[in-house]
Every structure is written in structure tokens, then in C-alpha cells.
Chains A and B, each alone.
Chain A
């Protein structure tokens, strides 16, 4: 068995993994990227549409152009990476076992690990659509790979369930290919992806978006022949009598993404409700020296934000290797962050009391869209630590806030912090 020793091992060579590795390498630490696909770049490689890089480079790039800049940088820095390499296990003492077809089984002893495995798409089973199980049902991301990477079309006429970003982008992409997209069907009363995608991918091409509807039956024994869509009420129960049949030969699913954390779970790290690992303000999981960034931590809407998060994970891993590795770490006292009114989740899950001097970046999403709001952080005694006005919120846009809790005069003995997004009191509205 081939054995390696590195300072930092990065699992996953997509946008997050490469950005993190670059930061680590620049600090002159040994780094190694482990990538399961045949090239580095990750899912961004199949996102051939534009809209990438507005934050990071202040220009508009396609996905492959965006990630290529990082790949080039990694190559210039001679960052080693292993392709077709699947990590099968990592242990809390940061030993990684992986396989590839050139070296067989390899063992990598790392001082720190950065998890950057990305996410996967929810499938039909996860949402339990009844009906037949013919050919012609696939996730939007899988269709994207077939069309953009492999060069094949999975069908001619489509219904897309879910108005996630990939679904809307594929609606446009398939229209360009001469396919017909009959409708994008969304169970929520609002679009679930970014507004810019609704405008640029659906409205501009006259593709109908049907909200508060869902697919309630799939027709066709061999090949999809159509779907029945039904209106849903507030509780997402279907409204009897509202069924409509839409003929199509392919159903694409764009019903959400789940962070891919099987390795993380098996290693014994705590996983939060939304599927990402529990992390502290340094993006460190509940296993010492194991950090997480990108979509494996939380599903992002912009790759630029993934890059920023990955850089932070890289910096924290460097700090860990240089200052904490091998030293006895006492029990950490931590403040727990929780999601309150209209907040779906918040990262980090924990704040180390020892780090209260630092700026902390909070990221969270709301459960439903709203206008004229107040974002509030409350401690466990209901004292408001921080508040800020916000004109509108939607679930598809991640909210990011940088806060220094010491400056906000947080009680260092507090055990938890709750974030809530509540309607603004009337008085404040006039100030707007």
C-alpha cells in the first residue's frame, strides 16, 4: 500500500477544493487534492452558462472559464492532485484511505483535512412522485452533464419539476438545442432559484413557470409520455380537480441539493439538519483539524461565495497545522447558533468563546420570501446582540453577515445565539 504524508489533504477537486488548496500552498505547506472524477474542476465544468466571477473577478465568466483560472493557478503552483481517486474512508486521526486505478489503495496521513466534496441532487424517490418508472426521468444536473459534457440529448419535449437554478438554466439550454420545454413546475408559490435565472432563462424564452403546482403522476410504461400536474394548497396537499396533463417525453427534476457527507458521517463528525457538517466559526467540524467548505457544508447559490468560503477554510487549516496540530487542546467552550423565526439554518453552528475577538462570518437562508424586515441576533437571555434592516429576503439568496461579537458586547457567558428575520415595526418603515 502506497503511503503519503501531507500537511493538508483536500477531499474534492472542485471550485471549493482547488481554492482552498491554493491558499494552503501559498503558505508553503504541503497540500494534496484528491479528486474522484477524471479531471479537476468539479460540477462548475458542466455549467457552461455565464454569470460566474462577478464577485471574485468583477467580470462575467462562464463556469469553465471561472474554474480554469483556479486550475491554472493550481498548476502554476505545482499543487499535486490525484484524479480518478475515490476516498473510501477517513478517520478522526486524519488518515485517509483512497483508491485509484494506478496506485491501488493509498493511505494519506494529514495534519489537517479540508472537506470539499460538494453536493448531490435530490431524486424522485426523495419526493415520492407516484406513477410508472419509465426511461426519461433524470435530474437536471445529470441532463446538464449529458448535454454539455457528453454531447447527448436525453429527450425532445420536457417538463421540469422544481425551479432550482440548474433546472431553469437547463430549460434555456435545451431550448437552444431545439428541444421544447413545456413548463417549469414549482410546488412553492415563488420561484426557488435566483430571480436573474427566472428572467434570463424562462421569461426571455417564453417558458411558462407554474407555481403552487407539482407533478402528481408520471405516465408511460417504457418511456415518459407525460405528467399530471396538480395545484397544491398551503400545506402542499394537492387540490382535487386541479389536475392537468402535460405531454412530454422527459421529466427533469430540479428539486434541491443535499451536501454529500457520507464520509464525514462515517468518520463520526456531527451532521446538522440540512445535511452539512456542524462547524464552528473557523469552519472546523466536530473532528479537530477537519474543515469543511463549499457545497459539502451548505448549498451555495453562487460559486464566488464558495470560493470565498474555501479560502477561509484554507486559512484556518493553515493556522491549525502551524499552531494547534499535535498540541493538547482543552475542551472548547462554545456558543451555539440556532435558527429562529423564518430562518432555515445558520452557519456556523458553533462559536468558540476563544475566538470572540475575531470577525465572524455568518451565512444563513430564510424559509420564505418577505419584505421590510429586521435581522436580529438574540442571546439566551433574549437580549438583542445585533440588528439590521433588510429590504427583502428570499430563500434562494444566502444572506452573509460579518460580525464582531465582542464589539457587539455579547455576554461571554451566553450559551446560545438565535438569529431571526422578523417584520420591521411600523416606525422603522418610514425611515426607509
Chain B
């Protein structure tokens, strides 16, 4: 078959485009090289939905960010992903920084960022965020800034896209693209796909995909950001806290998460290896010290995980959203911060381009924008819980102790559209292993459930896809092999 649109890349950008396009009468498919979606740049995003005052005025990302921020209210209602506007502070620690805050406020307000306010009353500031350092002299408060869970948003987008007919193919790494007679033939390790339009949302690999069609007009540089995550109840922040930004990044922030944890990070380090998501001693020290400038009582001892992500930084430093010279090929590349905020606006931009390409965009009669809220043990009242467990006993078998996750949520995560097929996939969808024991107790049981539900052997269950098997064999296997090998004879 020939698809109307093929999307390469299952990050938040690709999934957002898929979901937006699934509204129309189009045959859509999305190709992802990894075993799960949302595992590249999306996974280690801070999750901050920016107010939009930060980027320079001549960048399209400023406008897509301000517009995208506003689209979140409706999207969160439709897609039921965790989202909250808690507001952010840019924290000035020296008097001479106030001028900069004022300027940001003025320009931001002119461009439509709502509610921006410079607060100099230290008492009021501390009231709003008691954990903030005493050194604060003023803050820029952006009430429209918020938090979203980047991977839960991506899962929601993918699910809704599939509900509306889009097809997702994971473990499909694109190796070659041919364009002939207005049809793209996309070859992957697992088969060929044909489509009339091709959207490149492949994040760190966007330049490589673009070059497959002979378009070599930008480059993408991986820029690493490291994070440290702290246990719930270690500290409770009300606001997203930014330092005064530098040229390279918005700086190391101290930020609550929607699940009650706190994180510090990211730093910014340009690297060359697109898969180097390792953390470093120096980096972890840097972010901890950076965070302490804003929140001196960071609970360093309560850290439960450190991790790193890579931003896809284009050489233009702005988003590259282009209808290219290859007819039907749209680049959506270099989606670095505030890409998550802009994601819905970016998808709309792609719709505009497809319209220009003459694609007929007719809204489906049965289009359903609602992705039902995943049922969560924690959201039920005691009475509801009692009924739920009687309906399905899997609600009453708790697998993850730290986050109180029952078997049912894991089963649902596995059988959802584009559902989990790895241990990490389960973890990011419904949180077993995200808590303070980091899977110490629940991992054997998650493997058991995955093995049962996917009809796979224990040894075949992976952490995150090919070559990441968690178990290497049964007990006595190695001994028996040694015997058979004749070493003992």
C-alpha cells in the first residue's frame, strides 16, 4: 500500500504530528527505530512547558512556543496526560540582573505571554517559594509556565493517533530512502514502506535522514544535559526555578515533577556521539552545585537516579521546519528547547505545509480527539477501589511497592495501543521501578507479567530493546554448557 504520509521518528514531535494528522482522512504510518517510542530526546526532557519569553524575537521557535503553550490547556483535556501550570521564576541573585528581567517581561508581554511580572518584594517571593535562596533579589514570574510529563504526553499522542487509524511500527530503523514518481520508498531493517509524503522528525538523526534524499543543508549536534532526580517528600517546590539564562542554555534549573519528585539539571555539554547518554562525575557535581545556588537545601542524599539526555541542536539554533526542495518531504528538525512546549504548534505548521503540497485534508467523520485517561490505582477513592478489585482482581495485586502500582495498570500499559513491550516501556508508562527502590522488588514481577502477556520466555524480556536482555539463562545453564564443551573431560 502507499501511505499518504510516512513519519520518521517516534518522539514527541513525530507522535504529535501523527496525532494531528490522524484527524484527517489520510493513511498515516510512523516508523521508530527503537523498541519503544519516546526513548530519545523526549525521554530526558525537563518537562517544562515554557511561557515563551526566552527565545530571541527573530526565531520561529519563540512564536511557536508562545502559541504552543496556549494549546496545552485544550490538549491536556483531550489527551489526559499529566499537565499543570504551576508557574516559573527566573531568579536574579544580583541587582544588575533586574534590568534583564524587566526587559524580558516587557518583550514577552508585547508578544502575548500572559501574566508576566517582575517581583522584587523578597517576602512575597519567599512566600511563593520558601525553598528559594535568601540571596534572591528579584524574580520574573511567569504564571503560564507549567509542567507536563514528556513521555506520558507522547504515549497519549500515539494512542490517540492509533485510535484514529494511524499505524505505528517500532524496531524499524530507516536505512535508505528512494524518491521516484512522487512516491517515497523507505527501506528499514524490517521491511519497505511507500508513501506520497514523508516527514522527518528523527531528532538527533534528522540530518542523516535528510541526507538520504540528498538534502545536506543543516547539521545536528548532540548536546548532553545531565539530571539528578530526588525522592518524593525530600523537598517540596512550588515553582519551576531558572537561573538567569546564558547564551547556551536556560541554565540549571531546580524543578518539581508532576509525580512529587524534584530534579536538578540540565547542564549543557556539546558532544559528538549521538548515543552517549552517560552521566559524568564532573557533570553531576556541576548540576548539584548549580542547583544549590537557587535552592541551598537541595536534599543531595535523597537522590534516587541520575540520567542524561541529548538535545538535537541544529547549527542554526532555531527549529528547522521546511517544505524542502524534494516534493513531499518535510523536515521537522532541530527541535530543541522549547520544542516540547511548541509541539502542538509545530504539528499545525506541518498541516499547513501539507496543504501547500496539495494534500486533501478532509476531517474524518469519526475523528475522536479524546484519549481516555489511563485508570490509576492512586486516583481511586477507597470505595471505588473496592469495586474495581471485585471487577478485576488484578487491581488488587500490588506489583510496585514504592509507587503502589497494581498488576492491572501494567497489563493495561502492555495492551494499550503502541503498548509497552520492554521493562523500561512499562516503567515509563505506569511507573513501576520509578520510585525509590528503582525496581529492586518489582522487576522480577514485571518480567513475569511481560513474559506472560507477550507470550515470551523470561530470557527474552529486555530492559529497552535488542541486546538489553535482563536475564542471561537459567541456573545451571553455564555449568551444563561447560560440561558439554568438554572442558571437564
Contacts and interface: CB of A to CB of B under 8 A. Distances in A.
Contact of B469 (A104, A135, A265): A135
Nearest to B443: A142
A321 B441 CA distance: 34
B277 A101 contact: no
Interface in A165-212: 177-179
Interface in A258-316: 260, 262, 265
Interface in B433-489: 436-441, 443-444, 458-459, 462-479, 481-482
A423 B470 CA distance: 49
Contacts of A101: 389, 393-397
Interface residues of A, number: 55
B462 to A, nearest CB: 7
A123 interface: yes
B459 A178 contact: no
A155 B393 contact: no
Interface stretch (B124-132, B156-164, B380-388): B380-388
A102 interface: yes
Nearest to B481: A178
Contact of B389 (A36, A99, A238): A99
Most chain A CB within a 10 A radius of its CB, from B307, B439, B469, B475: B475
Most chain A CB within a 10 A radius of its CB, from B382, B438, B478: B438
A133 B229 CA distance: 14
Interface stretch (A216-224, A325-333, A345-353, A385-393): A216-224
A39 to B, nearest CB: 14
Contact of B383 (A1, A139, A177, A178): A1
Contacts of A88: 404
A233 B366 CA distance: 67
Contacts of B236: none
A146 B459 CA distance: 11
Given A86-B404, A150-B444, A223-B467, A125 B398 contact: no
Given A99-B385, A145-B444, A36 B473 contact: no
A65 interface: no
Nearest to B385: A105
Contacts of B396: 84, 99-104
B440 A105 contact: no
A150 B279 CA distance: 32
B385 A153 contact: no
Determine the main DSSP class of A at the interface with B: mixed
B275 interface: yes
A154 interface: yes
B393 A177 contact: no
A198 to B, nearest CB: 24
A153 B389 contact: no
B443 A138 contact: yes
B468 to A, nearest CB: 4
Contact of A156 (B281, B283, B472, B475): B472
A142 B470 CA distance: 12
B437 A123 contact: yes
B468 A36 contact: no
B229 A177 contact: no
B376 interface: no
Contacts of A138: 440, 443
Interface in A73-126: 84, 86, 88, 97, 99-105, 120-121, 123-126
B306 A125 contact: yes
A238 B458 CA distance: 39
Contacts of A124: 305, 438
A130 B389 contact: no
A132 interface: yes
Interface string B261-280: 00000000000000101111
Interface in A130-144: 130-135, 138-139, 141-142
B475 A147 contact: yes
Contact of B475 (A133, A142, A153): A153
B470 A36 contact: no
Most chain A CB within a 10 A radius of its CB, from B383, B465, B470: B470
A153 B473 contact: yes
Contacts of A123: 304-305, 436-438, 440
A178 B482 contact: yes
A236 interface: no
Contacts of B479: 177-178
Nearest to B448: A150
A152 interface: yes
A107 to B, nearest CB: 8
A409 interface: no
Given A153-B475, A153-B478, A216-B281, A141 B440 contact: yes
Contacts of B389: 99-101, 103-105
B233 interface: yes
B413 interface: no
A128 interface: yes
B305 A102 contact: no
A105 B382 contact: yes
Contacts of A121: 437, 440
A425 interface: no
Interface string B392-430: 011111100110101000000000000000000000000
A153 B480 CA distance: 13
Contacts of A131: 278-279
Given A120-B441, A125-B304, A130 B478 contact: no
A323 to B, nearest CB: 33
A1 B386 contact: yes
Given A153-B471, A260-B401, 5 more contacts: A103-B396, A126-B304, A153-B473, A177-B478, A178-B482
22 contacts: A36-B401, A84-B397, A99-B389, A100-B397, A101-B397, A102-B393, A104-B387, A104-B396, A120-B436, A126-B303, A128-B306, A130-B279, A131-B278, A133-B307, A134-B468, A147-B475, A152-B472, A178-B479, A178-B481, A178-B482, A222-B467, A249-B472
- Nearest 6 pairs between A and B by C-beta? A101-B393, A125-B305, A178-B478, A101-B396, A86-B398, A104-B389
